[in-house]
A and B are shown apart, each in its own frame.
Chain A
């Protein structure tokens, strides 16, 4: 892909096949990282909702008074401001979850989660690149 003629294609991915694959910690209704399945499980109204690392753009932590906030941004169309939006989507006319923000009084935990998400993302991108290099 060094020659720049590569056409980016969307590759399908899947977090889980069955609900017994969720980490047992989801019962605490908190954010759970599952590196083994390249997935982050987020609590939404009492339900564990998996998001594959491939859907995640980035995560950031901020503070406001005694609260810390963790914002997880997902990849969605129309985000490439001023540059070519070359992210492939299976269906760009679909509805997308673009971001989710949580708050907690445990700021250290959010710094740690944001850090882990960045690492997971970096590893996933690296793995993808290695796979591509092998195919070439």
Chain B
């Protein structure tokens, strides 16, 4: 057994699905309709997370250089095979992440390696890879605005920036362009609460 293959997998929220193959020396993804293949050497893989995504299940791969690769479209039962692949070939455990489904907008924003994680009651609610952020600014007192790189999708010409940027925020029909956080500071908390508490 030298190759393990999965069909109907999307790379970094690509519109087109493809075939994802794992071997001892790394993994590869090739779009079903033909085109450039993506490969990742096993020595660059640092960690892997498994979670529910919009399209089936997601295998998120963290590279040693903090880059993040998202592969979604997996079936729930693929986890067993992937666990064996990662354990036998890469000496890594796949961390299963159960996301918060509470529907709350409050929790904890944490800056982890490669991504910002917003957690609700110690469960991640969503993550933002730093590679997708184009700008951040202090929009007001205790308010941070995070702007996302969105590709123009052929709507305008030129200046779309780096090739890999803006892929994930503009993957769907609704492109996420900005997220604002309220982050209370210890010195202004009393003020922010309006002395009501």
- Tell me if B126 and A86 are in contact (CB < 8 A): no
Binding site for B on A (CB under 8 A): 13-19, 21, 26-31, 39, 43-52, 54-55, 66-67, 69-70, 74-78, 80, 84-86, 89-106
With contacts A15-B103, A19-B99, A70-B174 taken as known, whether A45 is within 8 angstroms of B180 at the C-beta atoms is: no
With contacts A85-B196, A98-B143 taken as known, whether A27 is within 8 angstroms of B180 at the C-beta atoms is: no
With contacts A92-B192, A98-B143, A100-B178 taken as known, whether A76 is within 8 angstroms of B55 at the C-beta atoms is: no
With contacts A29-B13, A43-B54, A95-B182 taken as known, whether A101 is within 8 angstroms of B176 at the C-beta atoms is: yes
Q: Which of B135-177 contact A (CB under 8 A)?
A: 141-143, 150, 155, 168-169, 171-177
Across the two chains, which residue of chain B brings its CB closest to A97? B105
- Tell me if B142 and A28 are in contact (CB < 8 A): no
29 A–B pairs (Cβ distance < 8 Å), ordered by A: A15-B102, A15-B103, A16-B103, A27-B54, A27-B56, A29-B13, A29-B171, A29-B172, A30-B173, A44-B176, A45-B13, A45-B128, A45-B129, A46-B58, A46-B171, A47-B52, A47-B127, A49-B126, A51-B104, A51-B105, A69-B177, A74-B105, A76-B106, A78-B192, A90-B106, A92-B189, A94-B108, A97-B106, A104-B173
CB-defined contacts of B22 to chain A, threshold 8 Å? none
CB-defined contacts of A85 to chain B, threshold 8 Å? 193-194, 196
Range of interface residues on B (Cβ < 8 Å): 35 or more
Across the two chains, which residue of chain A brings its CB closest to B104? A55
Q: Which of B57-94 contact A (CB under 8 A)?
A: 58, 70, 72
Min CB gap A135→B, angstroms: 23
CB-defined contacts of B179 to chain A, threshold 8 Å? 97, 99-101
With contacts A43-B54, A45-B129, A69-B177 taken as known, whether A14 is within 8 angstroms of B172 at the C-beta atoms is: no
Binding site for A on B (CB under 8 A): 13, 51-56, 58, 70, 72, 99, 101-109, 118, 125-129, 132, 141-143, 150, 155, 168-169, 171-184, 189, 191-194, 196-197
How far is it, in angstroms, between the C-alpha of A13 and the C-alpha of B101 when the chains are bound?
11
With contacts A15-B103, A28-B173 taken as known, whether A80 is within 8 angstroms of B54 at the C-beta atoms is: no
- Tell me if B172 and A28 are in contact (CB < 8 A): yes
Min CB gap A71→B, angstroms: 8
- Tell me if A45 and B101 are in contact (CB < 8 A): no
- Tell me if B196 and A47 are in contact (CB < 8 A): no
